[in-house]
Structure 1
Amino acid sequence: MNEEVSIVNLIEASHALPAAWRSSLVGQAAGANIKVLRMDATTYPNESHDFDEALLVLDGQMNLCIQGKQVEVSAGEVFIVPAGVPHAVAAGSHGTLVIIDR
C-alpha cells in the first residue's frame, strides 16, 4: 500500500493567509474539513451552523461569545460549538485558530 503522507504546518499556513478571519481548507479527515485562520484582535460577527464545529486555538487566545457569556479559549484548548448555537468572537482574540467542521 503506497499512501502519501502530508504534513501541514498550521501556524505557518495561518500567517501566509492574505487576510485575517478568512479560513483556508488545509485538508479533510474522516469526513471533516480542517481549516486554519488567523485572528487579528478584531471581532467576528455572530453565526450558527447546522453542524457541530470544533474551534481549536493553536496559539494566542480566542474570546468566544456564546449564549450570552464570553468564554476565553487559550492555546491548546478546543471548544465544541453545538449545531444551531449562535456564536461570535469578541475583540482581543489573536493567534491561530483551527476549525473542524463538515
Structure 2
Amino acid sequence: MSIASPARIAASLAELWSPRVVAEVDDAYVKVARVHGTLAWHSHADEDELFYVLKGRLRIEMESRTVELGEGELFVVPKGVRHNPVADEECHLLLIERKSTQHTGEEVTDKTRSLAEQLRPVE
C-alpha cells in the first residue's frame, strides 16, 4: 500500500478527460482527472458516479437540472441519469466509481478511455 496525492497527480496529467486510477476501495476505483471543455452526454445504467472537485469549477448538466461545483465540493450522479460534465476552465477532479463503470457509458467518443488506459501508471 502506498500514499497518493490526488491533487498532485491530477495536476501532473498531460491528457484532458483521461482519468487515471490512483487507488482501489473494495469494488470501486478512486480516479483523478484533469479536464477542460465538455466530455459527452452519457449515463451509467448500473453505477452511481461521485465527482469531487480538487481545483477549479465543474458544471454537471443533467436533463432535469444542472449543478455547479467549486473546490472541495462533491456531487453523486445517480445511476441511469444522463449527464454531461463541463469545465469552462481547467479543473482537477477526484472520481469514485465502481470497477464496472465505463468511462462514457454506452457512448463512445474520441475522449472515451478504456479501463486499461485508466489503469496505466502515472508518471
Using structure 1 for the length normalisation, give the TM-score.
0.85
1:71 to 60, 67, 70: 67
Q: CA deviation at 1:24?
A: 0.2
Structure number with greater Rg is 1
Using structure 2 for the length normalisation, give the TM-score.
0.72
For structure 1, which runs of at least 5 residues remain unmatched after alignment? none
Deviations 1:4-53 (A, max 9, x none): 4x22111211122221110000010132110000012x111111112011
Q: Which runs of 4+ in 1 moved over 2 A?
A: 67-70
1:97 to 93, 96, 99: 93
| Residues 61, 74 of structure 1: 8 Å contact kept | yes
| Residue identity opposite 2:19 in structure 1 | S
| 1:47 lines up with 2:42 in the alignment | yes
Output the aligned Cα RMSD.
1.4
Aligned residues: 97
Partner residue in 1 for 2:23: 27
Higher strand share: 1
Deviations 1:40-93 (A, max 9, x none): 2x1111111120111111111101101243210111111011111110023515
Which deviates more from structure 2 when the two are superposed, residues 61-70 or residues 50-59?
A: 61-70
| Residues 37, 98 of structure 1: 8 Å contact kept | yes
For structure 2, which runs of at least 5 residues remain unmatched after alignment? 99-123
